[in-house]
A and B are shown apart, each in its own frame.
Chain A
């Protein structure tokens, strides 16, 4: 079986791997790079657990072939905290008890990060619709939405303060 060579940037670092042409980006992240923070919940793009940021856009890594990562810039949950400091969204998720089991949390954090980059003042409705592609079975979403809106508030305050 002939494998494909892929060079891609993951969380700011250039990575190389060999993959089967049928392998998904999710499998490559997990099985080849042991970046297991990105989760598989369905494998069919319905649950959002495998959300990563791909050249700035949120995508389901289970619907993307690993070979498509060539030359791209990928952000995963493992790159969210920087220099030993949690991202404001991560802090707010802890503060608001916005996770129960935590399996959907990496995907929701990545999707939320992309939201707040586009819009740092989302309404509750906007946040709920943005995250409608990320299933959570534990929380009823209430505390997640609270955490995202609170993080947005803090990001706005920080940018106003500069």
Chain B
């Protein structure tokens, strides 16, 4: 039976907008998030953090706690595994400092007490002696010859010899001859750009409740994008086995990449092991800003050559990203995404990974891509203004299509960039007259999307309903879309499917919910598991009828005899087969375990109208339109939600959000008052248009939508600001003081 041939099907449930299965819990306050779990005998943990940007830890004196009855456990670095290497060591070093405090907010020690107030009091009694060292928080400064060294020996083999030890990674990609390409150009533009670190800004703090027995068996409840990864990391850091640490993912109150990393779970387990009580840790917002996330800050140089007709002849970029006090900034992603929307004969991208005295950067929605797009798309816009070309036409002239060689190597399969540009061109927003003082900006954006290890289980209940277990935390409504997929495949009502995020003891390994992979990979796995179940339903009916497997077929929720030779049998519904399955061969369960290849890249085009107040330097967003290729939108409301959310975060990053360090390397704005994310009154309605150019690598054509939406806003807004105020902003955020400074420079 050809269950794989589903690409041409018309959908009944996929593409509709049912209410989410976790909705009622979430509007009544019943949904249980990371901090909402309590256990008998539970203690509260709290973490002492470095007040210095860079300091040698001379001593940690906990003697004042030894006779304090309220203190049930204290842990320092000595309570964790000591033989780790590579990224395992990096994670441990980040969540509990060893010999040095590497950034303001670096964890030094932790305590557990009966109440949080007691735990906070206990932290004040720990005496740490530091020897303050010179520090560096700026990416360019950190690369200079005399820059303070964060840590010797961290560089990957890709880094050319003789570089400063803070330079820990190098990437190069491209093809053709850029020098020859620049010679063909009628106009060459090159510019330096800077972007500041932005935090993911999820509203839910990192939180966990952990229990660890002296024999190494552990239980963790936490908000995470990847609970299987939490189990793996905790086992490594505590010298236990991944299978002995069962992790349950709570409801997750936002992640955007920031909850792919592990911070507090191993600490809570270590405290619990010492106290033999469950320990809960909830980070404060101050701790979140100082010690988790954010994305990299960047320094970039981009040079592009163009013909008078708008055709790009060559493009070159250098992307320097600091990733905090550890290797791993997404500089390769910056370099690879920068020119991805354009078909280029001559292109070269270089990335540098640089360490600074800042928190270890964490993924943030299309890591590396938005900053690169800011640089490249700003220059494209400058060409349009100087050569008097239409910004959409210029992008169409250069746009990649199916078969184009990408700037980073592989050939593109079927893609939807041109479709997003054509939709932008014919969108009422693009045709609308522009009011005086308002500027309109355009930008494209690109993200790879991803597959990854995935495993699901689909169990049939006796009453003919279905339970789907997935291993990817639901960060964007995926239980709704997975239930739609099961409903579509099995022909049972959406409400008759229950999708659950299973714990790590229940399913095989599932990679983190990241890379916009869930609707693609878990969706594909769910389709395959449903197909596996249909096959088993057919086998069961064939067995009941005494027929061969080939003599039955599946149609519209029924197993039917294949033809007159198969005999005159009444078709059996799923419910019929389910009712008797205990007597006809036992439980019926569909499975799928694999690492799906075939993730489909996606592109977006954004249009924004912005108005700069020349008196105050304040920029208001007047109108915003997101057009993005989803491949196939399973639940269009949640696809629109991803588009709008990415745009809103991009607006914040473009206009307001930044990490501000003082001269001592101390973060100055570690709270939502001073690190201001967009509020409802800052934003206009964000219009969306879903383009569906099917991904050939997915049975329904799904590409994934979560990340591409944050790639265009930085540049689109910079381009609108340029049109409104006549200034080219080369630095983010475009906050009022920086706009005023740029206008002064312009006038001067």
**B45 vs chain A, min Cβ distance (A):** 14
Query: Using Cβ atoms and an 8 Å threshold, which residues of chain A touch B31?
Result: 102
Contact, CB under 8 Å: A90 / B36: no
Which of B50-58, B270-278, B391-399, B673-681 lies at the interface? B673-681
Determine the distance from Cα of A49 to Cα of B24 in the docked complex, in whole angstroms.
Answer: 18
B593 within 8 Å of A (CB atoms): no
> Which residue of A44, A94, A137, A140 is within 8 Å of B202 (Cβ)?
A137
Check A139 for interface membership: any CB of B closer than 8 A. Answer: yes
Write the A122-152 contact mask toward B (1 if CB under 8 angstroms, else 0): 0001011101111111111111110000000
Is A104 an interface residue, CB under 8 A from the partner?
Answer: yes
| C-alpha spacing A39/B207, complex, angstroms | 12
- Closest residue to B652 on the A side, CB-wise? A137
Q: A57 at the A/B interface (Cβ < 8 Å)?
A: no
Q: Is the beta-carbon distance between B681 and A43 smaller than 8 angstroms?
A: no
B649 within 8 A of A: yes
In the complex, A35→B38 CA distance in Å?
A: 12
Q: Assess whether A81 is interfacial by the CB under 8 Å rule.
A: yes
> What mask results when residues 193 to 234 of chain B are scored 1 for a CB within 8 Å of chain A, else 0?
000000011111100000000000000000000000000000
**Of the 9-residue stretches B77-85, B151-159, B251-259, which lies at the interface with chain A?**
B251-259
Q: Are A100 and B679 in contact (CB under 8 A)?
A: no
With both beta carbons as reference points, the residue of chain A lying nearest to B476 in the complex is identified as A100
The minimal Cβ–Cβ distance linking B223 to chain A, given in whole angstroms, is 9
Contact (A23, B117) CB under 8 Å given A137-B203, A139-B644: yes
Please provide the chain B residues from 19 to 56 with a CB less than 8 Å away from any CB of chain A in the complex. Answer: 19-20, 22-24, 26-33, 35-36, 38
Given the complex, which residues of A lie within 8 Å of B115, measured CB to CB? 20
Taking CB atoms, residues of chain B closer than 8 Å to A22 are 117
B192: Cβ under 8 A from any A Cβ? no
- Give the nearest-CB partner of B29 in chain A: A37
Q: Is B557 an interface residue when CB atoms closer than 8 A count as contact?
A: no
Nearest B residue to A92 via CB reads B27
Minimum CB–CB distance for A22 against chain B, Å: 6
Q: Answer yes or no: A99 CB below 8 A from chain B CBs.
A: yes
CA distance A95 to B19 in the complex (A): 6
Within 8 Å by CB of A37, from B28, B641, B680, B685, lies B28
Q: A39–B33 contact, CB under 8 A?
A: yes
Give the residues in chain A near B201, CB-CB below 8 Å.
Answer: 137
Residues of A within 8 A of B680 (CB): 127-129, 131-132, 134, 136, 141, 144-145
Whether A76 touches B29, Cβ cut-off 8 Å, given contacts A95-B19, A134-B680, is yes
CB within 8 Å for A94 and B673 given contacts A34-B38, A142-B644: no
Query: Does any Cβ of A come within 8 Å of B448's Cβ?
Result: no
Does A59 touch B at the CB level, under 8 Å?
no
Closest B residue to A138 by beta carbon equals B645
Digitize A72-97: 1 where CB-to-B-CB distance is under 8 Å, 0 elsewhere.
00001110110000100010011111
From known contacts A44-B673, A132-B680, infer whether A90 and B202 are also in contact, taking CB-CB under 8 Å: no
Q: Is the CB of A141 within 8 A of B251?
A: no
Q: What would 30 A/B residue contacts be, using CB atoms closer than 8 Å?
A: A22-B117, A23-B117, A39-B204, A40-B282, A49-B203, A77-B28, A78-B29, A86-B27, A90-B24, A97-B638, A97-B640, A97-B641, A99-B27, A100-B476, A100-B638, A101-B203, A103-B202, A104-B253, A128-B681, A131-B680, A134-B679, A135-B203, A135-B677, A138-B254, A139-B641, A139-B644, A139-B645, A140-B645, A140-B648, A141-B648
Other than A99-B20, A101-B253, A139-B645, give 14 A-B pairs with Cβ distance below 8 A.
A39-B204, A78-B28, A80-B27, A101-B252, A103-B254, A131-B679, A133-B679, A135-B677, A137-B202, A137-B648, A138-B641, A138-B645, A142-B685, A143-B640
Binding site for B on A (CB under 8 A): 20, 22-23, 27, 30-31, 34-44, 46-47, 49, 76-78, 80-81, 86, 90, 93-97, 99-106, 109, 125, 127-129, 131-145
